[in-house]
Amino acid sequence: MSRRFFVIHEARADFDLATELADRVMIFEVAWLDESLLDSQRTWIGEALTWKSIPERARELGIRVHGHFDGEPGQADAAAARRAILYLLRQHDPVEAILLIRDQDDQPERRKGLEQARKASETQVRVVIGLAIPERECWVLCGFDPRDDAERMSLDAERQNLGFHPCRESHQLTACKDDRAKRSPKRVHRELIGANWEREKECWTATPLPVLAERGLANGLKDYLEEIKDRLVPLITGPEEHRRDQG
């Protein structure tokens, strides 16, 4: 029976990025799994489950979340994430996993907050954290490799402008409040990819996973890929099944 995985996210682009990457990890890790079998193994739910929509839905069900976790004040997003988890558990059955997909923006404490919510919920459901540092565009840029002269010229211009490689060191694109700033992830994304959705998708669907993990060491992408491997893959294989040889 297909496992039901729920995704809390900020926008449809985040949902697509997170779920398609997770599918790739599952196919890579599970020797017998391929694209033709995915739909029989997992169902992604959450196209309308945004961080902004959850509070009102939770209030309608009378869900209230206290501000402390294990006696400590909740960090950024701790209460929001716990509320979302409780809402899903109340509204849906079964809930076999929940993915919390979020931009860090300029709040590094969000990691601790999401972890607080996960710890408070770990006996109820498996929770995966996907925190893009500082924004999802950095994950996309991890997979950008020029495919023609025009793209090579654009990348060379950005490298000269920034003083570092924006695809290999995307975590240095820290100006997440000003989309026109020199170090804005969104600005660099526009310069290299523009509004070409199919070209953007190629960055995470065609680039080898080891390359994405290497470039995503400091921007949260490697951590997310590892969480999928450690927390979701066993729901497909069972805890005792051998995974695909990594060597």
pTM of the model: 0.94
Rg value, the chain, Cα: 19
Q: For residue 9, give the nearest of 131, 112, 102 by alpha carbon.
A: 102
For 204, the enclosing helix (H) or strand (E) is helix 197-205
Q: 238: pLDDT confidence band, cut at 50, 70 and 90?
A: confident
- Cis omega (within 30 of 0) for bond into 108: no
Q: For residue 42, give the nearest of 60, 58, 22, 14 by alpha carbon.
A: 22
Q: For residue 46, give the nearest of 22, 73, 16 by alpha carbon.
A: 16
C-beta atoms surrounding 237 within 10 Å: 18
C-beta atoms surrounding 213 within 10 Å: 17
pLDDT at 67: 83
**pLDDT tens-place string over residues 201-225:** 999 999 999 999 999 999 999 999 9
**pLDDT tens-place string over residues 154-188:** 999 999 999 999 999 999 999 988 999 999 999 99
Domains parsed from the chain with CATH numbers: 1-133+220-247 (3.40.50), 136-215 (no CATH)
User: Tokens 């995503």, residue?
Assistant: 216
pLDDT over 60 (residue 47): yes
Pairing of strands 72-73, 68-69: antiparallel
Residues 156 and 57: their CA atoms lie apart, in Å, by 47
Residues 120 and 89: their CA atoms lie apart, in Å, by 13
Residues 133 and 87: their CA atoms lie apart, in Å, by 26
Q: For residue 114, give the nearest of 98, 97, 126, 131 by alpha carbon.
A: 131
Percent of the chain with pLDDT over 70: 96
Q: How high is the mean pLDDT of the chain?
A: 95
The pLDDT of 38-57, averaged and rounded, is 95
Compute φ and ψ for 43, nearest 5 degrees: -125, 125
Contact assessment for residue 88 and residue 95, using Cβ atoms and an 8 Å cutoff: yes
Angle between helices 185-192 and 149-162 (to 10 degrees): 150
Q: 239: pLDDT confidence band, cut at 50, 70 and 90?
A: low
Q: 245: pLDDT confidence band, cut at 50, 70 and 90?
A: very low
